[in-house]
């Protein structure tokens, strides 16, 4: 109970500045913490996350709470009747749920500048964005509010905020973790995963979340493959390479410096290219627009004014995408996936920047990149979209380039592995952490 009380005190003290939480489930948290204390008093063997406070992006169903998914249009929905599958697994592991976290409406954005519930502010610099769409999940870790959070990643929504807030985040292989009981965005691209302040904590949370689920048609029928014990296995050195080409072209100087730091620590002298990266990003845009637009088409007709101004026109446009376009996008997706598999015949981990630049000021419409001006809210995902489109597992590790006018800000690297090889991502993150190349620095 003392650990929970300390976490609740931090939320009360710090969250008014960061705006991470949209709900605090204090009564539930006290019940869960009391149950752990009772088990400890009886001398029982405790589960692996016993008493650890955590919070979830507000698109996860929490029993007796309304699942907002960042949207005003959802506020009048009935409360969830049961917990999301991953919340059930966290509860079984002994973790204590303290609340729901801010996000871009319906997960369609990279900044968490939510017009309904307010912008989430980056604890590294509260004048800057936290990233998105899981901005509250990353900021709650960076601000020291809770040690673990859960988020979702469709086009980069775990990796972008982890990069900008300077924490660790894991987007597992598509189909690895069940999405049952979470508000959907793009069924063929949605992933769920954890955030933490260290690679070991990230692996511990990931292990608690694993397991088959017949209620999620995308969740592969694969047995759990514990990652935390494997982090200590140094018998097989990782073979790492840097992803160049597209991933260098669309990286600013701080992003390139972050990759250099990671490459040096992992002894990654080779440079390779994913030639279809630009096409994969284009395919992700088409699939996202079509599936997201179809999901919201009916309510956009009846409740257009309730929707977020940053995304509603894009959803309307997406609802008009021809089926032939999505079919072609899926063909491109499969082709680039095969191209990536060929790279993993020689390497275990590919290194790329997670965001093109550090966190931009809240309200910024443009960012400078590659000699031009790009729309800020869409372009933060320029380096993550090609990877999530093909479903590969990625751990974002926080690097501090200490370069340029934003030298007080972090910028993460993507550590990309072959399908179902989350352990390689996590081993690379741990290696960077031990080398001092990646750290989720306390405030």
Residue 67 C-beta-side C-alpha neighbours within 13 Å? 17
Active site residue 152: no
119/30 Cα distance (integer angstroms): 28
92, 134 in Cβ contact below 8 A?
no
- Give pLDDT, residue 220: 83
Q: For residue 328, what are the CA distances in angstroms to 8, 156, 321? A: 49, 22, 12
167/399 Cα distance (integer angstroms): 9
Cβ-based neighbour number of residue 389 at 10 Å: 30
390, 173 in Cβ contact below 8 A?
no
**Which sign, positive or negative, has the C-alpha torsion 18, 20, 26, 30?**
negative
- Give pLDDT, residue 85: 98
- Please give the DSSP secondary-structure letter assigned to residue 340: H
Active site residue 133: yes
- Give pLDDT, residue 404: 78
Counting Cβ atoms within 10 Å, is residue 233 exposed (0-12), middle (13-18) or buried (19+)? Answer: exposed
- Give pLDDT, residue 403: 81
Q: For residue 197, what are the CA distances in angstroms to 165, 169, 438? A: 11, 9, 11
Active site residue 157: yes
pTM of whole model > 0.95? yes
Residue 368 phi/psi, 5-degree rounding, is -85, 125
Single out the catalytic residue among 157, 163, 182, 311: 157
97, 32 in Cβ contact below 8 A?
yes
Give which of 162, 163, 153 is closest to 252, Cα–Cα.
163
- Give pLDDT, residue 354: 98
- Give pLDDT, residue 233: 75
- Please give the DSSP secondary-structure letter assigned to residue 361: B
- Give pLDDT, residue 32: 98
389, 283 in Cβ contact below 8 A?
yes
Q: Determine the topology of domain 2-434 in CATH.
A: Amidase signature (AS) enzymes (3.90.1300)
Q: What angle do CA 330, 131, 193 make, to 5 degrees?
A: 60
Counting Cβ atoms within 10 Å, is residue 302 exposed (0-12), middle (13-18) or buried (19+)? Answer: exposed
Cis, peptide link before residue 133, omega less than 30° from 0: yes
- Two tokens, residue 262: 């990671």
Give which of 175, 182, 178 is closest to 209, Cα–Cα.
178
Question: Mean pLDDT per segment of 10 residues, for the chain of length 443 residues?
Answer: 98 98 98 98 98 98 98 97 98 98 98 98 98 98 98 98 98 98 97 98 98 92 91 85 98 97 97 98 97 94 92 91 96 98 98 98 95 94 98 98 90 98 97 98 93
Helix (H) or strand (E) run with residue 92 in it: helix 85-92
Counting Cβ atoms within 10 Å, is residue 292 exposed (0-12), middle (13-18) or buried (19+)? Answer: buried
Task: With both helix axes pointing from N to C terminus, report the angle between 26-41 and 2-18 in degrees, rounded to the nearest 10.
Answer: 160
């Amino acid at each position: 109970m003392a650990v929970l009380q300390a976490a609740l005190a931090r939320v009360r003290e710090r969250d008014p500045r960061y705006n991470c939480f949209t709900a605090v489930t204090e009564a539930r948290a006290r019940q869960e913490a009391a149950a752990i204390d009772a088990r400890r008093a009886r001398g029982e063997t405790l589960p692996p996350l016993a008493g650890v406070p955590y919070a979830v992006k507000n698109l996860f169903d929490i029993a007796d709470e309304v699942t907002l998914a960042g949207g005003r249009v959802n506020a009048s929905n009935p409360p969830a009747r049961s917990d999301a599958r991953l919340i059930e697994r966290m509860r079984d592991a002994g973790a204590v749920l303290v609340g729901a976290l801010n996000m871009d409406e319906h997960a369609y954005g990279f900044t968490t500048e939510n017009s309904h519930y307010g912008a989430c502010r980056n604890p590294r610099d509260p004048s800057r964005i936290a990233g998105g769409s899981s901005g509250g999940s990353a900021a709650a870790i960076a601000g020291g509010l809770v040690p673990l959070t859960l988020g979702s990643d469709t086009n980069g929504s775990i990796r972008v905020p982890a990069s900008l807030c300077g924490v660790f985040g894991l987007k597992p292989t598509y189909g690895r973790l069940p999405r049952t009981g979470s508000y959907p965005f793009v069924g063929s691209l949605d992933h769920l995963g954890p955030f933490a302040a260290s690679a070991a904590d990230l692996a511990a949370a990931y292990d608690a979340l694993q397991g088959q689920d017949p209620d999620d048609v995308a969740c592969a029928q694969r047995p759990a493959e514990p990652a935390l014990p494997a982090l200590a296995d140094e018998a097989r050195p990782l073979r790492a390479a840097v992803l160049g080409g597209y991933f260098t072209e669309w990286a600013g100087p701080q992003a390139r410096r972050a990759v250099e730091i990671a490459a040096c620590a992992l002894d990654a002298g080779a440079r390779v290219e994913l030639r279809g990266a630009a096409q994969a990003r284009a395919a992700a845009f088409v699939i996202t627009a079509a599936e997201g637009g179809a999901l919201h088409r009916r309510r956009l007709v009846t409740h257009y004014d309730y929707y977020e101004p940053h995304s509603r026109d894009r959803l309307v446009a997406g609802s008009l995408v021809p089926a032939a376009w999505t079919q072609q996008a899926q063909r491109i997706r499969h082709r680039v996936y095969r191209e990536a598999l060929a790279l993993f015949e020689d390497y275990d981990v590919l290194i790329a920047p997670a965001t093109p630049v550090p966190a931009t000021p809240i309200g910024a419409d443009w960012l400078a990149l590659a000699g031009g001006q790009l729309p800020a809210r869409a372009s933060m995902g320029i380096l993550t979209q090609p990877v999530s489109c093909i479903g590969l597992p990625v751990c974002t590790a926080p690097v501090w380039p200490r370069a340029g006018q934003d030298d007080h800000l972090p910028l993460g690297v993507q550590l990309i592995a072959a399908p179902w090889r989350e352990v390689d991502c996590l081993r690379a993150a741990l290696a960077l952490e031990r080398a001092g190349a990646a750290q989720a620095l306390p405030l």
